[in-house]
Amino acid sequence: VQLQASGGGLVQAGGSLTLSCAASGFASDYYAIGWFREAPGKEREGISCVSSSGSPYYIGSLRGRFTISRDSAKNTVFLHMRNLKPDDTAEYFCAAFDRGCGASEMRETLDTRNYGVDLWGEGTQVTVSS
């Protein structure tokens, strides 16, 4: 049972990337899947999630630039990022959690990440050059 995040890389400001969060060993459709990022010197933050019913959530600052989607056949959740900015530079993580999808649920997922409550994948680095 694991999540594997991929798709990061180096991109110029204004460019686009699509991150993938591939689940194996379980059906991710039954869980909310969230994307989190951790920039150098900053705390990890939740940026987007999609509920088990497919409802998306985004933090306000990213709404309109980032889009989250599911591909049930591939058991994968994608984060499509466009018009990237240097401030988007961070390591990006995905997690599966058995609760709703919203600001408070992502906060709880962050707060409990060291206690083995939810499933976290390894990060993928996104670097946006100016």
The model's pLDDT over 73-85, given as tens digits with 9 standing for 90+, comes to: 999 999 999 999 9
Model confidence at 115: pLDDT above 90: no
The model's pLDDT over 11-65, given as tens digits with 9 standing for 90+, comes to: 999 999 999 999 999 999 999 999 999 999 999 999 999 999 999 999 988 988 9
- When the pLDDT of each residue in the chain is averaged and rounded to a whole number, the result is 96
Whose tokens are 């798709």? That residue is 7
108 DSSP assignment = H
Nearest to 77 by CA among 99, 55, 61: 55
